[in-house]
Each structure stands twice: as structure tokens, then as C-alpha cells.
Amino acid sequence: SADSFIHREDQRLFILKHFPDVLATEMEGASIAQACYALQTPVIVVRAISDMPEKGTSAVDFDTFIVEAGRKSALIVHQLLHRLKEF
């Protein structure tokens, strides 16, 4: 996670140099994660990636994406809550 919008090639190359296996960056949840870390509180951020800038286009239109992302996110949260009950 980062608190910066990655929009320049030098930023992308810096990230790839230091984290060669990176698949994505995330900025909105970073401040939440930092606060939780400071408060020693566990946190999970569930995100969906809507587009891949280096590929030039998105695989689906936004209206299709939002429905599918919502469905998948709900499944993930449901599974996480079920597993948390086990602890």
C-alpha cells in the first residue's frame, strides 16, 4: 500500500525494482492500515482491480465490472467472517 497515486513511469519502475513480484498498488486503504498498525489492531483490506493501465484497456465495461466485483467481494467477506468465527 502507498499513499501516492502511481501515474509516472519512474514510479512504476521504482516499485518493480524493489518489489519485482508486485501485482498491484493500493492507496486508499493505506491510511487505515497505518492507523490499525499503530493501534495494534488487525486489518484486512479487500479491493477489486478495475483496470490494468499497462494493458491499455479494461477487460469489461464498468457497469459489468461493478456487479461482478460486488459479487466476488461479498463472497470473500462472507468466507472471512465464517473463518473468524473459528477463532
pLDDT tens for the chain, residues 1 to 87: 456 777 788 988 999 999 999 888 887 888 898 999 999 999 988 887 766 656 555 566 788 888 988 999 999 999 999 998 876
State whether 53 and 85 are in the same domain. Answer: yes
pTM above 0.75? Answer: no
Tell me, what's the pLDDT at 78?
A: 93
Q: What is the pLDDT of residue 2?
A: 52
| Three cell numbers, residue 81 | 467472517
Residue-number span of the structural domain to which 22 is assigned: 1-45
Same domain, 62 and 33: no
Whether residues 19 and 1 fall in one domain: yes
- B/e letters for 44-81, b = 16+ CB within 10 Å, e = fewer, are eeeeeeeeeeeeeeeeeeeeebeeebeeeeeeeeeeee
Residue 26 and residue 76: Cα distance in Å, rounded?
18
What's the confidence (pLDDT) of residue 52? Answer: 63
Same domain, 52 and 72: yes
Structurally, how many domains does the chain consist of? Answer: 2
Shared domain for 38 and 1, answered yes or no, is yes
